[in-house]
Structures are given as structure tokens and as C-alpha cells.
């Protein structure tokens, strides 16, 4: 098994901030809008260097989406920023009508997604956002795994025409992908080759999948690990090739099992290659207040849960 090295824990939201700083210097069409959360989105340097290209909208997220849609008409590339709950649930009508339906080139950038928002609790811990956004026609949905990949994704979506939902998080997590990785929208990343089971992970669960794969190797189980950073469009070709080889799959995500990555994989399998699948995800529940580690443990979103799911799915192989 290939060994991945944690280069030092960093928060993925800081990867977004680093990407925005670089875009501010390289692309004069990029503008930023924020709903009173500049510090949380880590875009202070972008604002300092490009004050004329920043719009502080305040706690008026619906207005922010409408303004962003309007800015595209003038040829600008607006990046909106707030917590994931406020980037989606609070403004779904505006996104649907003004951005997705109108095919506006808006980049909806969402921090503090999932349970790892932590102590702010269930009202802020959205676990439905991937499902909401992937159901919008024409919407690209990206969920990155570490600092480096988030920075790369931020740069890549500026070059992509059309609405994008970019999801990232609050906690510091292992930073293990290459410093300047090639980011291809819609293309999965094969992290480890295996023959017994495919583990398909996204976001914060990618590192946990690698940890689980190493533990499984010590038990004589060969796990193939795929990082699906783009949930829509889904890299069905890579997924099917892997699952045809291994015969079963575990999906892992910091999201409700309804509507997330796991469901997208299940649909793909039902259409092209039925195979046993186990889903590591929240089980149709809201979160609660606690530290990120406490919550991921309680709701079964870590390497131990992935390892357990692998042992279960292996029993179901024909």
C-alpha cells in the first residue's frame, strides 16, 4: 500500500483563502462576496489586495446570491462565501431561480460544512447540502479533502463556466495531497490500488479511508481507495472499473446517507453493475453540539467505521 504523509494539519477553508489570494492576483474578473464571515472564510488577504473587488453583503445571504448572479452579466466571476448551511438551505430559492435556472457563472463557496462545524450545533451543521445542490440541473458539486486540494479546486472552478458548489470545512485535518495537485473537475483520484474492496470517499473522510485501508492491509485485506472530490459530475468510469475488479464498495462521506455520494454511487451501480455496497454517512439525523472528533466518533464517520463497513460488505460478496 502506498503510504501518504500528513504534511501538517491545516483547515480546508484556509486552502480556499489561499486560492482566492492567488486568483485575486491572476484573474481580474474574479470578485468576492461575503455574508459577514470574512475571517471564517479566510479571505482577508484577497480583500486587502483587491478592496474594489470585494462586497460585504452582511447577514443577507439571499441578496448575496442575487447580486452575484447580476455580476455575471457584466462578465465578472463572483465567488460567494458563508457557512454551508447559509450557502444552501437559507438561499435555495435564489440559487435555483437566479443562478442554476439562469445558468449564471457563480461559484458558491461554503465553509463549515457537516458535523465538523462542531460546537455551533445542529442548526449550523448542514448534512443535506450535497443532495440539495446536486439535484439542481447544471450545478457542479465539489467536496475537497485537504488544504492543497481545496486551493487547487478554487483555482480550477474559476476556469470552469457555469454554477459550482464548492464545499469545505472548519477543522484542521491532515494535508496529504501534492502541493500543487492537478485538479480535474469530474475526475476521481485513485489513491491506492487494491483487489478485495473499493473504498470511495469524499471530503474529510478521504484521509480516514486511507487510515482504514492501512489497518485492513494488516488483516490481509486489499482495499482500493478513490477520492471522489467531484460528486457531480461523478466519475462513473473510474468507479465502475474499480468495483468490477473488487466486487464490492464502501462509500464514506460527512453527509446524510440520503442524497449524498453514497446514493450517487448506488444509482450508478443499479444502472450499470449491481454490487454490494455499505454506506458510511449520517443516518437521517441532525447533529448536535460537541467537538469535531466527538461528533465524528458518535455518528460513525471515521476510519473505524469505514473498517467495520468493509468487513460487513465483504461478507456480502458473491
Lookup result for grid cell 486552502: 15
Model pLDDT, residue 182? 87
Instruction: Check 22, 49, 61, 307 and give the catalytic one.
Output: 61
CA–CA distance, 284 with 313 (Å, rounded to integer): 21
CA–CA distance, 107 with 109 (Å, rounded to integer): 6
CA–CA distance, 255 with 211 (Å, rounded to integer): 20
CA–CA distance, 20 with 129 (Å, rounded to integer): 22
Model pLDDT, residue 2? 77
Model pLDDT, residue 317? 86
Give the up-direction half-sphere exposure of residue 187: CA atoms within 13 A in the CB hemisphere.
Answer: 9
Residue 90 DSSP one-character state: G
C-alpha cell at position 8: 501538517
Largest CA distance in the chain: 61
Dihedral pair phi/psi, residue 24, rounded to 5°? -60, -30
Q: Active site includes 214?
A: no
CA–CA distance, 173 with 171 (Å, rounded to integer): 6
Contact 245, 106 (CB under 8 A): no
What pTM was computed for the model? 0.97
Model pLDDT, residue 310? 98
In tens digits, the chain (318 residues) has pLDDT values of: 778 889 999 999 999 999 999 999 999 999 999 999 999 999 999 999 999 999 999 999 999 999 999 999 999 999 999 999 999 999 999 999 999 999 999 999 999 999 999 999 999 999 999 999 999 999 999 999 999 999 999 999 999 999 999 999 999 999 999 998 889 999 999 999 999 999 999 999 999 999 999 999 999 999 999 999 999 999 999 999 999 999 999 999 999 999 999 999 999 999 999 999 999 999 999 999 999 999 999 999 999 999 999 999 999 986
CA–CA distance, 58 with 61 (Å, rounded to integer): 8
Contact 258, 279 (CB under 8 A): no
Q: What is the set of domains in the chain, with CATH numbers? A: 10-173 (3.40.50.970), 189-314 (3.40.50.920)
Residue 219 DSSP one-character state: T
Amino acid at each position: 500500500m502506498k503510504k501518504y504523509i500528513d504534511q501538517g494539519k491545516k483547515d480546508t477553508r484556509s486552502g480556499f483563502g489561499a486560492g482566492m489570494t492567488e486568483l485575486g492576483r491572476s484573474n481580474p474578473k474574479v470578485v468576492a462576496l461575503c455574508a459577514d464571515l470574512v475571517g471564517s472564510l479566510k479571505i482577508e488577504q484577497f480583500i486587502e489586495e483587491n478592496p474594489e473587488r470585494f462586497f460585504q453583503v452582511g447577514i443577507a445571504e439571499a441578496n448575496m446570491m442575487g447580486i452575484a448572479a447580476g455580476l455575471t452579466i457584466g462578465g465578472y466571476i463572483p465567488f460567494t462565501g458563508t457557512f454551508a448551511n447559509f450557502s444552501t438551505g437559507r438561499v435555495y430559492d435564489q440559487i435555483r431561480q437566479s443562478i442554476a435556472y439562469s445558468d449564471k457563472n457563480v461559484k458558491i463557496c461554503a465553509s463549515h460544512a457537516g458535523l465538523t462545524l462542531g460546537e455551533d450545533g445542529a442548526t449550523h451543521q448542514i448534512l443535506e447540502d450535497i443532495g440539495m445542490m446536486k439535484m439542481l440541473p447544471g450545478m457542479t458539486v465539489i467536496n475537497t479533502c485537504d488544504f492543497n486540494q481545496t486551493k487547487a479546486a478554487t483555482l480550477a472552478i474559476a476556469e470552469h463556466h457555469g454554477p459550482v458548489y464548492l464545499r469545505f470545512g472548519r477543522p484542521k485535518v491532515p494535508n496529504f495531497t501534492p502541493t500543487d495537485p492537478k485538479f480535474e473537475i469530474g475526475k476521481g483520484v485513485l489513491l491506492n490500488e487494491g483487489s478485495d474492496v473499493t473504498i470511495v470517499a469524499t471530503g474529510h473522510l478521504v484521509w480516514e479511508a486511507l487510515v482504514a485501508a492501512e489497518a485492513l492491509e494488516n488483516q490481509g485485506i486489499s482495499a482500493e481507495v478513490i477520492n471522489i472530490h467531484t460528486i457531480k459530475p461523478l466519475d462513473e468510469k473510474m468507479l465502475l472499473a474499480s468495483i468490477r475488479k473488487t466486487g464490492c464498495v464502501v462509500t464514506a462521506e460527512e453527509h446524510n446517507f440520503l442524497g449524498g455520494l453514497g446514493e450517487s454511487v448506488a444509482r450508478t451501480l443499479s444502472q450499470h453493475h449491481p454490487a454490494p455496497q455499505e454506506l458510511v454517512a449520517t443516518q437521517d439525523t441532525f447533529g448536535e453540539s460537541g467537538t469535531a472528533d466527538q461528533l465524528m466518533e458518535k455518528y460513525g464517520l471515521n476510519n473505524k467505521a469505514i473498517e467495520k463497513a468493509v468487513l460487513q460488505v465483504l461478507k456480502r460478496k458473491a
